[in-house]
Amino acid sequence: MTGVRGVSWLVWRQHRTTLWALLAFTVLVAGFFLYGGSGAADATSTLAGCVDATGPTAPPECSQAVTDFQQQHQYPLRQPLQVLQLLPLVFGLFLGAPLFAQEVESGTYRTALAQSVPRNRWFRAKVTVPVVMTVLGAGAITACATWWWHAVPAPLGSRFPWHGSMPFAAVGPAPVAKALLVLAIGITLGLLVRRTVAAMAATAVTGAVVLFALEHVRGALWPTVVAQRSDITAEPAPDGAWILNGGLVDTTGRRVPESSECYASTDYGQCLAGKGITGRWTEFHPASHFWPLQWTQTGLCLAASAALIALCFWWTRHRLT
């Protein structure tokens, strides 16, 4: 087997147990979300007149219907979405880290490089299989999870905000891009560490740090909106907004710190007015920023993945002997 197809088949043969296990995992998890999403979609159609009916003025029948919907379709979704945030680590640990580390550790890569297939084609064939598996596997799972999640927020409103780490980190295109990034991290560490178990451990730690960092900075990935209102009792942000920062302003519009003296006052508003404080300012992301934030994070992860794969390509050509 000297062609690229032969190398790809060899990669499949070398990692077939892991690939079959991941395929079965994908089918089971995607099937779970697909089943749950179909039930949520059917139930949502019966709540057309009770969208976001969660306040004290909501009709009793709507309040009970929304509560029942939450218990039957949101609660079963929460923990799976929380676990799904770790999905990128699965692909990085079991596909990325062992890909080159096993061959480098055992020395079998020398046999492959001694064949007539050039290094660039060998590298491309080696990387293509896990990349395709990651895109298809993570894509299928997150597509089904997104479908279930998409049916839930409309009737629940503020009970299930879009901007929380769950669901944001587990739906949309970003989880697929993060899976590719952690896969690339695993491949890179496998080449550098040259030991399979050590590379898997390093991938787990590095991948977790990267996922945490992406979650921490995602609010800065898209320009925020700043609004101001001459009212100290309410945030000047629309319903469903992701509020990042805020505070008080005086009569000139200048931002001023909170007044701790007024907290103990019997009339908080009158106390602030006496100090010349007449309004509030808020920095936020409206609900319409969900997809721009998703696609920006996706692009960032894909760019980092491409850079790491390029580094691995260079490494196999110049440092792997």
**What is the rounded CA–CA span in Å between residue 230 and residue 243?**
18
- Which pTM was predicted? 0.85
User: How many percent of the chain have pLDDT more than 90?
Assistant: 41
**What is the rounded CA–CA span in Å between residue 83 and residue 104?**
32
Amino acid residing at 223 = P
Q: What is the pLDDT of residues 87-103, one digit of tens each?
A: 999 999 999 999 899 88
**What is the rounded CA–CA span in Å between residue 52 and residue 57?**
11
Other CB atoms within 10 Å distance of the CB of residue 28? 10
- Using a 10 angstrom Cβ sphere, with 0-12 exposed, 13-18 middle and 19 or more buried, the burial of residue 213 is exposed
DSSP string, 116-155: SS-HHHHHHHHHHHHHHHHHHHHHHHHHHHHHHHHHSHHH
Higher pLDDT, 298 or 258: 298
Average pLDDT score over residue span 221-234: 89
Q: Is the pLDDT of residue 66 over 60?
A: yes
What is the structure's pLDDT at 297?
97
Average pLDDT score over residue span 221-231: 92
Q: Is the pLDDT of residue 295 over 50?
A: yes
Higher pLDDT, 321 or 1: 321
Nearest Cα neighbor of 215 from 181, 182, 183, 168 is 168
| Average pLDDT score over the chain | 84
Nearest Cα neighbor of 92 from 127, 126, 134 is 134
Average pLDDT score over residue span 111-119: 71
Helix (H, G, I), strand (E, B) or coil at 267: coil
The first and second tokens of residue 21, run together, are 């296990």
The first and second tokens of residue 190, run together, are 């496998």
Other CB atoms within 10 Å distance of the CB of residue 1? 12
The first and second tokens of residue 13, run together, are 């043969």
Higher pLDDT, 45 or 166: 166
User: How many percent of the chain have pLDDT more than 70?
Assistant: 87
**What is the rounded CA–CA span in Å between residue 53 and residue 61?**
10
What is the structure's pLDDT at 216?
93
- Please give the C-alpha separations between residue 184 and each of 207, 222, 243, in angstroms, as whole numbers: 10, 25, 33
What is the structure's pLDDT at 185?
97
Higher pLDDT, 221 or 317: 221
Q: Is the pLDDT of residue 197 over 80?
A: yes
> Which is it for the CA torsion 163, 166, 172, 173, positive or negative?
positive
